[in-house]
Amino acid sequence: MSGSTPSRSAAGAAALCVTVLCGGLTGCATPRSDDGPRDVRVVDISDEAAEKIAERVAAYLPKPPTGAQTVIIQGTPRAGPPSPRREIAGGARYPSPDPAVFKPVRKVARDRLRTAAAKSVDAALAWLASHQADDGAWYAAAFSEQCEGAKCSGPGEPTYTPGLTGMALLAFLGDGNTHRTGEYAETVRRALRYLTRIQDAEGCFGPRVSQHFQYNHALATLAMVNAYRLSESPLYEESAQSAVDFVQMSRNPYVGWRYGVRDGDNDTSMTAWMVMVLAEARKAGLTVDDEAFRGALVWVDKMT
Ligand SMILES: [Zn+2]
């Protein structure tokens, strides 16, 4: 959405203010004379909003441009000092904004988003690490036993602990930690030790008690395969390969997977998880039978 309202300008001329409401962003294009410089101040930039303001500002400026113009782009966060002014001269960018002109705006936006995202990831990993049990698991129902002070709410289904541990472990691996490197190396090491401890002789992670144990197995395998891939440590090769072998052994001949081991039943979500596991396993250099991918495609074809 956009709208224009007159407001004061340094030179006393009517300013054209462009408001991009959906981006939470305001910018003013201030004509100081018919063909003089224009001021564009961009407030509280988000990446998406920066794109929008670029389009909006260009739309409000005269076409064709009248003489030499200068657009000053200056990001102004709601809190904190404004970013450095960037002056862009010339009118060749119209009618559509030249990406190079607005690149500095987008860069500021990206940097700001990156900082916000990094802070959020840091906080999330710290929370996860503080709720890991001593044996390395994230207990779906009992994680609040680890709380210091007020107890966190939201207990889950206890049978999903192996899968939950796999997911939490994936978060740390995704942030670049391995059992040897990174701030959370010890967290990763303990989680991997837990997973290898609950792996049975056929390679399955966790007991086959829940109807959905294959979800647990898929997530735990994804984590183990990635731990092996990232660290290239022989410590985890056997566990990862044996987990992948269990995935392959469970598949219904010529088709996909569901909740059992070759039980003749197929399911799209389970098949998708298993294909993801096998694709990651192949990237990790583990032994994967291409026939599994063909079978999964047979199932997807059937369902579409
Ligand atoms: Zn807590």
Here the CATH number for the domain that contains residue 202 is 1.50.10.20
Query: What integer pLDDT is reported at residue 78 of this predicted model?
Result: 45
Place of tokens 């030179």: 11
Distance 141 CA to ligand 1 centre (A): 12
Supply the pLDDT for residue 110. Answer: 61
Q: Is 125 domain-assigned?
A: no
- Average pLDDT, stretch 236-255? 96
Q: Report phi then psi at 89, rounded to 5.
A: -100, 155
Residue 94 shares a structural domain with residue 217:
no
For strands 4-7 and 86-89, give the pairing: unpaired
- The model's pLDDT over 264-277, given as tens digits with 9 standing for 90+, comes to 888 899 999 999 99
Interval between CA 132 and ligand 1 midpoint (Å)? 10
One-letter amino acid identity for 146? Q
Concatenate the DSSP letters of all residues of 186-200 into one string.
HHHHHHHHHHHHTB-
SS3 of the chain: helix, strand, coil, percent, to 5: 50, 10, 40
Q: Do 160 and 271 sit in the same domain of this protein?
A: yes
Per-residue confidence at 58, pLDDT binned at 50, 70, 90? low
In angstroms, what is the span from residue 128 Cα to ligand 1's centroid?
Answer: 9
Give the mean model confidence (pLDDT) for residues 108-125.
79
233 pLDDT above the threshold of 90: yes
Distance CA 294, CA 253 (A): 11
The token pair that represents 186 in the structure block: 């010890």
Categorize the per-residue pLDDT at 55 as very low, low, confident or very high, splitting at 50, 70 and 90.
low
55 and 155 part of one domain: no
Q: What is the DSSP letter of 191?
A: H
Q: Is the same domain home to 175 and 244?
A: yes
Distance 85 CA to ligand 1 centre (A): 44
In a domain, 85, yes or no: yes
Q: How far is the CA of 192 from the centre of ligand 1 (A)?
A: 22
Question: What is the whole-number distance in angstroms between the Cα of residue 123 and the centre of ligand 1?
Answer: 13
Q: Which pLDDT band, with edges at 50, 70 and 90, does 148 fall under?
A: very high
Using CB atoms within 10 A of its CB, is residue 44 exposed (0-12), middle (13-18) or buried (19+)?
middle
Task: Tell how far the Cα of 146 is from the centroid of ligand 1, in angstroms.
Answer: 6
Number of domains observed in the structure of the chain = 2
Q: Do 100 and 161 fall into the same domain?
A: no
Instruction: Identify each DSSP E strand in the chain by its residue range.
Output: 4-7, 15-20, 25-31, 38-43, 70-76, 86-89
109 and 174 in a common domain: no
Terminal C-alpha separation, the chain: 38
Domain shared by 26 and 100, yes or no: yes
Residue 186 lies in a domain: yes
* Residue of higher predicted confidence among 256 and 68: 256
Q: Find the 151 Cα to ligand 1 centroid distance in Å.
A: 5
Q: Which residues touch 112 (CB under 8 Å, ≥6 apart)?
A: 45, 46, 77
Q: Are residues 270 and 166 in the same domain?
A: yes
More reliable by pLDDT, 39 or 119: 119
204, burial (CB in 10 Å: exposed 0-12, middle 13-18, buried 19+): buried
Residues 16 and 149 in one domain: no
Mean pLDDT of the 100-113 span: 56
Answer yes or no: do 71 and 26 share one domain: yes
Per-residue pLDDT of 157-208, as tens digits, reads 999 999 999 999 999 999 999 999 999 999 999 999 999 999 999 999 999 9
139 CA → ligand 1 middle, Å:
12
Question: Stretch 74-95: mean pLDDT, rounded?
Answer: 42
The reply to whether 45 falls in a domain is: yes
Per-residue model confidence (pLDDT) at position 210: 82
Q: Which residues surround ligand 1, an ion (CB under 5 A)?
A: 147, 152
- In this structure, the answer to whether residues 77 and 161 fall within a common structural domain is no
Retrieve residue 198's tokens. Answer: 């609950």
Q: Calculate mean pLDDT across residues 115-138.
A: 93
pLDDT at 163 (0 to 100): 97
Q: Which of 50-64, 164-178, 243-257 comes out lowest in average pLDDT?
A: 50-64
Are residues 97 and 180 both part of a single domain?
Answer: no
Q: Which whole number is the average pLDDT over 85-102?
A: 40
Percent of the chain at pLDDT exceeding 90: 53
Q: What is the pLDDT of residue 117?
A: 81
What pLDDT does 59 receive? Answer: 52
